[in-house]
Structure 1
Amino acid sequence: MRTVPESGTLAAMLDDFDRALLTHVQRDDGATAEELATRVALSPSAIARRLRRLRRDGWIAATIALLSPRLTERRLRAVVALQLAEHADLKGKRALLDRLAAAPQVQFCYELAGAVDLQLLLDCRDMAEFNALVEALFESDGVVRRYETSFVKRAVKFAPFIDLAAPDSAA
């Protein structure tokens, strides 16, 4: 995965056309340059060139396919809040983060400020897989002080998109 350049502001590195393209391809990366040209005032060839550059330069980190709920609705999903042990050493915390990053069932892991140190979304086939995963990830080395699990009843909204069409003055 490429990284986005650190220096400069977002507004200085991406122009209005780049931001508009990024906003649109987040929702439909399968759109053709011709289809995108109906939404962004550029020719299809200019759109194709810009998208190649945006991918090359790391502004588009990955292209993925989101599966239909018909395939995912019967799976066990859990939101887990973790508190780390007060005296967890840096090496132990790094080992935990590495285990979380490597586990395919961990769909996201955010490190937070506040009472909760880590927030996870886990996706498992069933409760047996969930229990085995929790034992392997959290209960092995004393790094996790406690964890609290909430099971997902229904997905109401999932929209991991960022509207870049308007310049972000805070970037």
Structure 2
Amino acid sequence: MESLDKFDLAILQELQADARLTNAELAQRVGLSAAPCWRRVRALESQGFIKGYHAEIDRQKIGLGVLAFVRVDAERVNLEATRRLEEAIRQLPEVVACHYISGTGTFELQVVAPDLDSFSRFAQHHLMNLANVKDLHTSFSLGEVKSSRALPLGHLRPVAERRPERR
């Protein structure tokens, strides 16, 4: 892993909290002048630390009230069949996240839908018909306790600068 200094970490922290900051605002918050701050942001982007900037949309406000977690069990796990299944999953806009998982199952999907009937139709017409799918196991979110795309950065700080852990 490439090394990040305290200014890089501060930039990442501030942009995770509010990516709409102007360069001048960002520079002021992290204790740099505008030009060096701008260069650091561009370097963080070019090195792949910053992958993009996105608007966070409230799924319920746009009518996507159902969030389902779907474990997909594949029929056979070989490279070619898995790659085809991956590509088919990528083509489904209702699937907002997909992860390989350990234990039982091959993939864990996060799927959004307007309501339970819509989810049921999506599962029956799309998920169950994907090639190489043996079984689906679905759980529904009953409420969000925490939802954040912000990643913790404390482990990147030098040990002397880290806050003591709470007990």
Structure 1 length as normaliser, TM-score? 0.78
**1:79 and 1:151 in contact (8 A); partners too:** yes
Which residue in 2 is equivalent to 1:134? 123
Matched residue, 1:150: 139
- From the superposition, tell whether residues 36 and 108 of structure 1 become closer, same or farther in structure 2 (CA, over 3 Å): same
Structure 2 residue corresponding to 1:42, chosen from 17, 32, 35: 32
Cα drift, residue 65 of structure 1: 0.3
User: Could you say which residue in structure 1 is the equivalent of 2:50?
Assistant: 60
Does residue 15 of structure 2 align to residue 31 of structure 1? no
Q: Per the alignment, in what secondary structure is the counterpart of residue 30 of structure 2?
A: coil
Distance in 2 (CA, whole Å) between partners of 1:68 and 1:138 is 24
| 2:104 aligned with 1:115 | yes
1:95 aligned partner, one-letter code:
R
**How many aligned positions are there?**
158
Alpha-carbon distance in 2 for matches of 1:75, 1:109:
19
Higher RCO structure, 1 or 2 (CA under 8 Å, sep 6+): 1
The reply to whether residue 21 of structure 1 matches residue 11 of structure 2 is: yes
| 1:7-37 superposed Cα distances (whole Å, 9 cap, x missing partner) | xx232xx322112211221121001223223
Cα separation, partners in 2 of 1:106 and 1:89, compared to 1, 3 Å: same
Q: Does 1:100 align with 2:89?
A: yes
Paired residue for 1:10? 2
Question: What's the CA shift string for 1:72-101, capped at 9, x where partnerless?
Answer: 47522111112222x344322212111111
Go from structure 1 to structure 2 and tell me whether the alpha carbon gap of 1:141 and 1:122 turns closer, same or farther (over 3 Å shift). Answer: closer
Inter-CA distance 58–98: structure 2 relative to 1 (3 Å threshold): same
SS of the residue aligned with 1:39?
helix
Equivalent pairs: percent with the same residue? 27
The CA deviation at 1:70 is: 5.6
Determine helix, strand or coil for the equivalent of 1:116. Answer: coil
Q: 2:164 is matched with which residue?
A: none
